[in-house]
Structure 1
Amino acid sequence: MRTDIATPVRLADYTPSAYAIDGVRLDFALDIAASVVTAEIGFARREGTAAGAPLVLDGDELTLASLLVDGVEVPADGYTAAPDGLTLHTPPAEPFTLTIVTRLNPSANTKLMGLYRTGGNWCTQCEAEGFRRITYFLDRPDVLAVYTVRIEAPLAEAPVLLANGNPVESGPVPGTDRHFAVWHDPHPKPSYLFALVAGDLGLVEDSFVTMSGRTVQLGIYVEHGNEPRCGYAMDALKRSMRWDETAFGREYDLDVFNIVAVSDFNMGAMENKGLNVFNDKYVLADQDVATDQDYGGIEAVIAHEYFHNWTGNRITCRDWFQLCLKEGLTVFRDQEFTADMRSRPVKRISDVRLLRSHQFPEDGGPLAHSVRPEVYKEISNFYTATIYEKGSEVIRLLKTLIGDDAFKAGMDLYFDRHDGDAATIEDFVACFAEASGRDLSQFMLWYRQAGTPVLDIRDHYDPVRKEYRLTLAQTLAPSPGQPTKLPMVLPVRFGLVGPNGGDMAITAVSGAEVNGDVIVLDQPVHEIVFSGIGERPVPSLLRGFSAPVRPVFNLPMSDILFLMRHDSDPFNRWQSGSTIAMYLLTAAAQTFAAGGTPEIDPAYVAALGEIAGDEGLDPAFRALMLALPQENDIAREIGDNVDPDAVARAYRFVRRELGSRLAASLDAVLGEYGQSAPYAPDAAGAGRRALANAALDLRAASGDPEAIFAVVERFETATNMTDRIAALSSLVQNGATEAPRALAAFYERFSKVPLVVDKWLAVQAAAPGTATLDAVKALTQHPAFSFRNPNRIRSLVGTFASGNPAAFGRADGAGFDFVADVVLRLDETNPQVAARLLVSFRSWRSLEPGRRAKAQAALERIVAKPELSRDVRDIAERSLA
């Protein structure tokens, strides 16, 4: 384990490697506990590197068996080898081949980085710095090379041998029980994109004909017996390939494209060139075991990893500071794909909810960092919502700022200019500046400044002059390492809604740059004046969430309620409802904390009832309108001195009131959508199920015995996992006496399906009440749980820590102590998973003083541990800073 205190890596210190690599040949002799890797690597001095300058290679827990230069063994005094690195003291002046032989124990590799064993198979994970756990190498993204890989393994144990690129040769190894396969990837790539999988796997095959007429063989490899659950993933892959051709003009470039699904995986999936390795939760699905949300996740992640073929693989990152260049851009692309496949408004709302729940807290806490960080200690800790989700929002903001045509031209220029490059954010943005003719230097602040801008909105109407005035002021609070901020460029898509509920025509506007329906803000304060406005409008701002900011509307509640009823922009209609709900929830939490009794605005209840029953609206949209902000969202809105118990009480109070007062509307929805229909994992069917389950759960929240009975009946008669798990969760969340029996029946039925067991664990970890902590502790001893499987850990402990703030933030500190204990335990075996679990402490400073002190004590206990991993120490120290 790397227990040294990490030296900060700084963007300003970037220099190219002293040596380049012009080709890599890898030979893997696989064994369960004693695999041998022979790497033949061609090196050449870069221009400016002195002849004989040392060659310094990265390593991580490696054992060197032999070292040769151009076929000749290097003498002992010619190199220095350690587990974490190899230095060749005086390399030849001319290009040379270094042959490195290392010995690995895949079965002992619990970190799941490099080469490891999972489910009886050999697998690799190399992003970000896992290749150095396989062989000594220049393990950095700007060193690109062509790879040829030979894999040898026992035929009985591993009939399937896979690597990047195209298959070249295969056959038996004479005189042994082993066989081999050779793969060649003609496209230069960095080491983090290397992949190997070997094992006994089932295969689902298909093919795809590209826009130029080439046939690509497609394969999805899974554990035997899971083949029938691959159909949707294969369909999503083919749709992704076609969409990238039509939307971005990008054609696939190899003869084969393979996906492998494994059960032990630190991430969601990995885009290795031509051989994507997936967590099996993003591949396997049928209606009995997968929810509509699972199907949507499969579609999005399959697309995301495939789209990386161009935005990440063909064009990669110069260094890890540019991580958002591949991840943020590719998230934007997969979001656009899903929007085209499903409902664009519903997708946009869902993405913004995710941004606010995951990224906004990051922006507002001690772990805040810019979309392109300036410094890091452990790169694995920067695979964050800021890089992914906010990185996507910045791309979307750019598209809004320069317009669709200029954005398309900029993307085409980027692909043409940088294919085969290791690029930077500056390279990327320069293409759009050239395509649009716009100065984008201020836009670059989105990559440099951390934090979420606050947009303060005030308005005034002058009926005599028929002028409507908007005052828009932006502020950006200090964040770690950035005490002073400059104003950002904010494109604000807008409309002015008249008394009849329709958008007003706008003939004259001054005070800021206005492009069609977009106001461009680039100063701390803008006063925008609309002339010729005959009646006072209600402003609909940030339509489609055109910039990732936190708006402060300063409008009367009647205006926000008006937009909730009438806004033509679906996102802002949802936003208005969410704004009112958040006001009611925060007021209720503060009232409970002060010992009072909160109230519910009847006008909001009436408007919500109208929307729930509006057959002209998409059922999925209506379901989102019924979904209240979650407890973590409420706590974030309160900001300081948060009492999680008061927040939880407010959340349940408002749900109970809505469930009671909207009984007639909700029952009408159930009468229309509550009956089971033939299952199809499409947007229409998912929307109907979402609305029915949201209505039933809200009715059950009222405590009405008939509603609880209806949930039990739905659980017992459900024909698909979406309805079954929704009913189970409703019973648990609403404290129904039938919940224990339902949990037992659910486990008995699905105990042999690990991905469904994950759902069972998560439902219990999210249960309200003081008994949840003891239940979660007991479940860590359950036969279904394993501390070696990241999915089990995320489902149980991750849900408890990040999705159950009242239980995690118990007043006695026991929740903090439990999660700290798990982090310390995992730190010994899988530091990456431990560090990501530790992120659940990110908002500890916002708690009331008693809880704050207990959370701080738990973090300090973690930091005090001797020989703490760099992954965990980095998060813990930044959390305490």
Structure 2
Amino acid sequence: MREGPATVIRREDYQAPAFWIRTVDLTFDLDPAKTIVTSKLRIERNPNAPQGQALKLDGEELTLLRVLADGDSVSFRHEPGQLVIDNPPAPDSFTLEIRNAIAPEKNSALSGLYTSGGGFFTQCEAEGFRRITYFLDRPDVMAVFTVTLRADKHKYPVLLCNGNLVEQTELDHGRHCAKWHDPFPKPSYLFALVGADLVAREQRIRTRAGKDHLLQVYVRRGDLDKTEHAMNSLMASVAWDEARFGLSLDLERFMIVAVGDFNMGAMENKGLNIFNTKYVLASPATATDQDFFGIESVVGHEYFHNWTGNRITCRDWFQLSLKEGLTVYRDQEFSADMAGTPSARAVRRIDDVRGLRAAQFPEDAGAMAHPVRPDSYVEINNFYTATVYEKGAEVVRMMATLVGRDGFRRGMDLYFQRHDGQAVTCDDFAQAIADANPGSALSANLAQFKRWYAQAGTPTLHAEGIYDAPTQTFTLTLRQTCAPSPGQAEKHPYVIPVAMGLVDAEGRALPLQLEEEDAPTGTERVLVLTDGVQAFRFVNIDAEVVPSLLRGLSAPVHLRDGLDDAALLQLLNHDHDPFNRWEAGQRLALNRMLQAVEHRAAEAVLDEAFVAAMRAVLRHPTLDAAFKELVLTLPSESYVAEQCASVDPQRIHVVRELMRRQLAARLHADWIWAWEQHQVREGYRPDAQQSGRRALANLALRNLVLHAVETADPVWQGRAYQRVKDAAQMTDRFGALEALVGAHAQLAEPALAHFHALFADDALVIDKWFSLQAMAPEPIGEGAGQVLRRVKALMQHPDFTLKNPNRARSLIGGFCHGNPAAFHRADAAGYIYWADRVLELDAINPQIASRIARAMDRWNHLAEPLRSAAREAIKRVAAKPELSPDVREIITKALESSPDPLAAAA
């Protein structure tokens, strides 16, 4: 673990390196206790850098054995985290040879080279390569790698690395050797190696470019039958990227390797993607529909990085969204295209937005608020955030909206033409998209548009529409604001694309013609807001209309349009945009929840108009089942909390639970109908149509079990329990288990026991089992506090370990991040538990600890006495002197973001 005072890295201080590394020849003698690494680096002086600078190579937790320059010894010294050669050889280029030892089996941080399940694996992004050998470990240093791996053949029969396999040889004493060469220059963060006892699913393909390639998915023995979907997803990704963007696979082979101990979801190392098993292994018996979708999405994401991240990479880590935001956008488009129908595409977009609002909007309003392109950091691992990824994807989506689909393809083509093989910036990408589309709104406003990269916070779009019947005009006035965020008191206007339409009482989509135009331009268009306030006047509007704004969430903003219930019901019933139709239903529910929270009503009462609207959606003859399930799912407690100035998680939980019970009771007959009509009886397929039917049927079951518990009716509890025992696939089995646990049914305990017994040997399924209990809704009234007691008990379960990131996330992360009412307890027991776990994890794996630490990002928004109790817990963690930089940065920002609210008010 790195110790010592934290160093703040600032974007404005970027300087190109004094030296480049052009080629790397690495040799590994793999041994769990002592791996010997030998590197030969061809180093060149940077002619544009000031002369006379020392060569400083990054290195952590390495045992240095030898350093030679052009075959001769060279003097060196150590600085914290660096090997320094003050007087490198005089020529402009030279060969540096370094020999060092590392201990992979002691690497609990899972950064660099580590062991898992008896094999060797790596994770080098962002700064893990320096834990393997000394190097210029920065993304703008790109080199061609040749790697030789040596190991015991019986223990490690599979030896993999980036690029193409050059040769395999047998060695003495039962050892063997594999040599790999990657012809494409890459930064060290994209390096990967695997040495393990694995088996592979293989598929040979021929791309549109007419070249043959080998695709391989490697897993441990016994898991091969769970790799078909991952392989299908990989083949679909290769085909899609070639068809949509003209980007072909560029190596002889492409490999995916699944490992059970992994800090992230997956990693796009050139040609050798290392994946968390969660995003590779799936069968109908062990994986839900959401798991299948997650695999397709993540496989696509990592494959698409081959060009957007690998062939063109980041100049520095501040540009992280250059690769991540762009590639998230690409994987979202891929998933939407794989969904097929327009309705299924809309469901995908709604899912994306729900994720954005659940993770990124709170981040923008909390202690860790930062721009898509941050200005500074202490630990780069802390900036693999929803802002960089999801908001970054929304910035790319806005570019695509402003230039159109064809224009975006032209911009991508120009981007690759200009920058293939380079390490560049977000500015370079935006410039390419704009230059390929002269005359576009993006090109005309590029400098202003790039404020999306520079300013933190979520803007608010205020809208007011006025209809004038005598002149048949509708004037829409748009105004934008953005609240201050840490380090940014003043915000300047953004470029905000507003996709919109006008809907009349009969559901007609009216033609849109602005007063300065000669004719209408269709029934949907994109208004571009660039000023603080702008008015848009539409003519030839022959009836009262409701504006449908931000269709598809065309910009990542809050919308305040003042629409009343009647207008929202009109959009819910008639809007031609599925996203805004869903949004109208969510807003109707949210308004009722907020009112009940504000007035502290003893009962949250759902009016008949709302219930009738929900019934109409549920019974609608043509709407897709997946869309219905989304509309009929109430806004989450976390999303409701985001709308409150002072957050009382307990009160929000009570209101949402009461509304759930009322919907369950008042739509009881409708839920029975939905359950019966949406069973899937044909063979399992994880497609949009089947998964939508299962989602709606499982929502119906949750409501039926909830009502059954309220009325002491054993029938639906029994049916759910029977489904846990005999369902043919995991989506229905786990859906039934969720229904019992979420309703606190008497049969929940035996169902949990039965489920565990069935899947005790499947780690990913047991992760679900832990997570479900950690995120179970806290009982209202008697029984409150039971979730934390259960979580503590589960930490003593034989299947629980802090050392496995998936297991720690499922239980500790599930409780601290995913169960606000159980976590934010009046007795502060949840905060004490959080502090204990952050400190305990920090000694093992700082990256996982820092993610758990972020459960307190918005503590200063809590109502008292929770706010004071939370602050004390944060101060307790801050008082630990040996904190990692990962956790120290999170905790420090949390405390700095929150002065005493009474003092601030005074």
Q: Deviations over 1:721-762 (max 9, x none)?
A: 001111111111111011001000000110100000000000
1:268 aligns with 2:268: no
Match of 1:734 in 2: 743
Q: Deviations over 1:574-612 (max 9, x none)?
A: 0000111111122222333xx533321211111111111
Moved over 6 A (4+): 513-516
Secondary structure, aligned partner of 2:643 = helix
- Which of 104, 107, 127 in structure 2 is aligned with 1:106? 104
Give, in whole Å, the separation in 2 of the partners of 1:842 and 1:818. Answer: 16
Aligned to 1:410: 411
What's the secondary structure of 2:769's corresponding residue? helix
Deviation at 1:514, TM superposition (A): 11
Counterpart of 1:328 in structure 2 is: 325
| Residues 837-856 of structure 1 mapped to structure 2, 5 A cutoff | 837-856=852-871
Post-superposition Cα deviations, 1:470-526, rounded to whole Å, max 9, x if no partner, equal: 221110000001000001011101110012102012233469x99861111011111
Asked if 1 retains the 8 angstrom alpha-carbon contact of 2:61 and 2:102, the reply is no
Identify which of 762, 765, 768 aligns with 2:777. 768
Q: 1:860 corresponds to which residue?
A: 875
- Match of 1:44, as an amino acid? E
- Distance 1:136-1:675 versus aligned 2 partners, 3 A rule: closer
Cα distance change, pair 51–325 in 1 and its aligned pair in 2 (3 A): closer
1:160 aligns with 158
1:195 & 1:782 partners in 2: Cα distance? 34
Select which of 712, 722, 730 maps to 1:721: 730
Q: What is the letter of the counterpart of residue 652 of structure 2? A: V
**Are 2:538 and 1:530 aligned?**
yes
**Residue of structure 2 equivalent to 1:788:** 803
2:515 aligned with 1:484:
no
**Map of 2:16 onto structure 1:** 16
- The match for 1:363 is 364
List aligned pairs for 1:413-562, cutoff 5 A: 413-437=414-438, 438-439=443-444, 440-509=446-515, 517-562=525-570
Check whether the contact 2:680–2:694 (CA below 8 A) recurs between aligned residues: no
Offset, 1:97: 0.6
Please tell me whether the aligned partners of residues 51 and 93 of structure 1 are also in contact (alpha carbons under 8 angstroms): no
Residue from 750, 759, 773 that aligns with 1:750: 759
Give how far 1:13 is off.
0.8
Quote how far apart the aligned CAs of 1:468 are.
Answer: 1.3
Q: Distance in 1 between matches of 2:80 and 2:100?
A: 10
Q: Quick check: 1:625 aligned with 2:626?
A: no
Q: Whole-Å Cα distance in 1 between the matches of residues 603 and 285 of structure 2?
A: 44
Which of 152, 176, 181 in structure 1 is aligned with 2:178?
181
What is the aligned partner in structure 2 of residue 605 from structure 1?
A: 611
- The whole-number CA distance in structure 2 between the counterparts of 1:91 and 1:52 is 9
- 1:49, CA displacement in angstroms? 4.0
- Which residue identity is paired with 2:493? P
Question: Contact conserved, 1:64 with 1:81, CA < 8 A, in 2?
Answer: no
Equivalent position to 2:240, from 243, 248, 255? 243
8 Å CA contact retained: 2:724, 2:755 = no
Aligned to 2:589, which of 549, 558, 581? 581
CA distance in 2, matches of 1:869, 1:507: 59
Q: TM-score, normalised by structure 1?
A: 0.98
Letter of the 2:737 partner, please give it: L
More deviation, 179-188/428-437: 428-437
Structure-2 change in CA distance of 1:607 and 1:49 (3 Å): closer
Query: Do 1:676 and 1:718's aligned partners in 2 also have CA atoms closer than 8 Å?
Result: no
Q: In terms of mean alpha carbon deviation, does 764-773 or 152-161 score higher? A: 764-773
Which whole-Å CA distance do the structure 1 matches of 2:542 and 2:48 have between them? 70
Answer whether contact 2:725 2:754 (CA < 8 A) is retained.
no
Q: 2:659 maps to which residue?
A: 654
TM-aligned CA deviation for residue 623 of structure 1: 1.0
Using the TM superposition, give the Cα deviation of residue 620 of structure 1 relative to its aligned residue in structure 2, in angstroms.
0.8
Amino acid aligned to 2:823:
F
Residue 645 of structure 1 aligns with which residue? 650
Rounded Cα–Cα distance in structure 1 between residues aligned with 2:520 and 2:421:
38
**Alignment check: 8 A CA contact 1:514 1:520 kept:** no
Aligned mates of 1:297, 1:514 — CA distance in 2: 41
Letter in 2 for 1:700: V
Q: CA deviation at 1:787?
A: 0.6
Cα root mean square deviation, aligned = 1.4
2:301 aligned counterpart, secondary structure: helix
Please state if 1:876 is matched with 2:873.
no
1:666-705 matches, within 5 Å, as: 666-674=671-679, 676-702=681-707, 703-704=710-711, 705=713
Deviations 1:663-720 (A, max 9, x none): 1222111121136442111111111101111122123233342433332233233111
**2:231 maps to which residue?**
234
- Report which stretch shifted further, 282-291 or 425-434: 425-434
Deviation per CA, 1:836-873, whole angstroms, max 9, x where unpaired? 11111112111111001111111111111011100000
| Counterpart position of 2:902 | none
Q: Tell me, yes or no, if the aligned pair for 2:680 and 2:693 is still in contact at 8 Å.
A: no
Verify: 1:565 aligned to 2:573, yes or no.
Answer: yes
CA contact 2:604–2:659 (8 Å) conserved in 1: no
Counterpart residue identity of residue 637, structure 2: E
Tell me the CA shift for residue 461 of structure 1.
1.5
Distance in 2, Cα, partners of 1:682 & 1:586? 36
Segment drifting more, 522-531 vs 318-327: 522-531
Partner SS, residue 832 of structure 2: helix
When structure 1 is superposed on structure 2, of 318-327 and 769-778 the one drifting more is 769-778
- Note the residue ranges of structure 1 that are not aligned, 5 or more in a row: none
Quote the offset at 1:51 in angstroms. 5.3
Q: CA deviation at 1:767?
A: 1.5
Task: Tell me the distance in 2 between the aligned counterparts of 1:633 and 1:510.
Answer: 40
- 2:114 paired residue number: 116
The equivalent of 1:53 in structure 2 is 53
Q: Which residue does the alignment assign to 2:901?
A: none
SS at match of 1:169: strand
- Please, which of 660, 664, 672 is the counterpart of residue 669 of structure 2? 664
Aligned-pair distance for 1:200? Answer: 0.6
Deviates more, 1:601-610 or 1:500-509: 500-509
Distance 1:213 1:127 in 2: 33
> Matched residue of 2:183: which SS?
strand
| Contact in 2 for aligned 1:458/1:555 (Cα 8 Å) | no
Question: Structure 1's 430 and 675: CA in aligned 2 closer, same or farther, altered over 3 A?
Answer: closer
Tell me the residue number matched to 1:126: 124
Mark the runs of 5 or more structure 2 residues left unpaired by the alignment.
779-784, 897-906
Specify the code of the residue in structure 1 equivalent to 2:269: N
Q: 2:291 aligns with which of 280, 291, 294?
A: 294
Task: Specify the alignment match of 2:821 in structure 1.
Answer: 806
SS at match of 1:403: helix
* Paired positions, count: 873
SS at match of 1:111: coil
Contact 1:591–1:598 at 8 Å: present in 2 too? no
SS at match of 1:849: coil
Equivalent position of 1:391 in the other structure: 392
Checking the alignment, whether the CA contact within 8 Å between 1:773 and 1:815 is kept in structure 2 is yes
> What SS does the corresponding residue of 1:314 show, helix, strand or coil?
coil
- Deviation per CA, 1:172-220, whole angstroms, max 9, x where unpaired? 11x3221100000000000000000001111111112111211111111
TM-score (norm 2): 0.95
Corresponding position of 1:206: 203
SS of residue matched to 1:442: helix
Code of the aligned partner of 2:557: V
Counterpart-to-counterpart distance in 1, 2:217 and 2:514:
57
> In the alignment, is the contact (CA less than 8 A) between 2:505 and 2:570 conserved in 1?
no
Amino acid at match of 1:274: G
Report deviation, 1:50.
5.3
Shift of 1:771: 0.7
Offset of residue 360 of structure 1? 0.4
